[in-house]
Amino acid sequence: MSNLRIGVVGIPGKWSTEALADAIEARTGFRLVIDMAEVELQLDSNRLLYRGQDLTELDALVVKKISETYTPHTLDRIELLRHAERAGVRVFSPTRSLMQLIDRLSGTLSLSAAGIPMPLTRVTESLQAAEQAVHEFGAAVLKPLYSTKARGMTLVEADDANLTTQLADFAAGNPMLYIQKKLDLSGRDLGMVFVGGQYLCTYARVGSQDAWNTTIHSGGRYEPFEPDAELIELGRKAQACFDLDFTTVDIALTDTGPVVFEVSAFGGFRGALEGCGIDAAAAYLDWIMQTLETTRTC
């Protein structure tokens, strides 16, 4: 049994967080699930405390989930982890990588710069430009810059008599409007899982008949999917933009070819387990242990 002390930053009680903590405890004998809401940075002593434990004394921190929902405040939590990183604690994934993906616009721009195919997207604070974009697209999805699992996303259509009001209402809480053309996904999109930059598996998310999106949060389910080499290469190129230790790339298959919706800052384990029959938490821990052991011997 390894004597490494590895903490899990996540949501106590949540399945993925606890599954990873269970795997780490079984392998190392050490268990610590960290709720960032209770972490205190003491700059006078350079300590980062959670329930009496100085996180800068750990061998590693694995960020499974930084907060229940994304907000600009989430970036502040990552800054606290950056303090541990500067103190020599290995953070999985690196904080610089996480920061690129909390804000949807930042991640989108990185993917676009790398030439990754994405749905047609417009970003503006102008309600007039936003309305024109919706009319060009026919139907569009308004996406908050800080959100996960399709939370806060709104479907709008060009022929809706209330379109102007819908855009104004959305802009009241999201001044920078992120407008993406709605694609015909036939009720399905894909989650492609990577560990340490290496392909692990792909699962499909199949939406319920009552929802316009495919997320499990909206009643979807997981199914197996076998991608071809070209599709795997697209996912690999997308995740390579961010230097993540574990991630899921969201991909859709369209009539004009595959597109990438986003690369997840953290990725989930349940899709790999239920859709692929693969224990992604164990695979991730293998990568973590290998990385830490290699660091120790260098």
What was the pLDDT predicted at 151?
85
Nearest to 112 by CA among 264, 265, 259, 266: 259
**Count of C-beta atoms within a 10 Å radius of residue 40:** 10
Rounded distance between C-alpha atoms, residue 245 and residue 292, angstroms: 12
pLDDT, tens digit, 9 for 90 and up, residues 244-264: 999 999 999 998 899 999 999
What was the pLDDT predicted at 171?
97
Per cent of the chain over pLDDT 90 is: 85
Rounded distance between C-alpha atoms, residue 143 and residue 6, angstroms: 35
Q: For residue 101, is pLDDT > 70?
A: yes
What was the pLDDT predicted at 238?
98
Rounded distance between C-alpha atoms, residue 262 and residue 85, angstroms: 26
Nearest to 263 by CA among 226, 236, 231: 236
**Count of C-beta atoms within a 10 Å radius of residue 3:** 8
Q: Are 146 and 74 in contact (CB under 8 A)?
A: yes
List the structure tokens of 62: 């694995």
**More confident: 54 or 295:** 54
152: CB partners within 8 A, 6+ apart: 143, 144, 173, 174
What's the mean per-residue pLDDT of the chain? 93
pLDDT, tens digit, 9 for 90 and up, residues 32-69: 999 999 999 999 999 999 999 999 999 999 999 999 88
pLDDT, tens digit, 9 for 90 and up, residues 216-248: 555 578 999 999 999 999 999 999 999 999 999
Give the CA distances from residue 185 to residues 28, 254, 291, in Å, rounded to whole numbers and listed in that order. 43, 6, 38
What was the pLDDT predicted at 222?
94
Peptide bond into 218 cis (omega under 30): no
Q: For residue 88, is pLDDT > 80?
A: yes
Rounded distance between C-alpha atoms, residue 202 and residue 177, angstroms: 31
What was the pLDDT predicted at 261?
95
Rounded distance between C-alpha atoms, residue 178 and residue 193, angstroms: 26
**Count of C-beta atoms within a 10 Å radius of residue 221:** 13
Phi, psi of 47 (to 5 degrees): -105, 145
* CA atoms lying within 13 Å on the CB side of residue 206: 8
pLDDT, tens digit, 9 for 90 and up, residues 157-193: 999 999 999 999 999 999 999 999 999 877 789 999 9
What was the pLDDT predicted at 45?
95
112: CB partners within 8 A, 6+ apart: 118
Q: For residue 210, is pLDDT > 90?
A: no
Q: Are 24 and 285 in contact (CB under 8 A)?
A: yes
Q: For residue 93, is pLDDT > 50?
A: yes
Name the CA dihedral angle for 293, 65, 11, 278, rounded to a multiple of 10 degrees. Answer: -70
**Count of C-beta atoms within a 10 Å radius of residue 145:** 21
What was the pLDDT predicted at 212?
47
Residue 188 burial (10 A CB sphere; 0-12, 13-18, 19+): middle
How does residue 25 score in pLDDT terms, banded at 50, 70 and 90?
very high
How does residue 2 score in pLDDT terms, banded at 50, 70 and 90?
confident
What was the pLDDT predicted at 216?
56
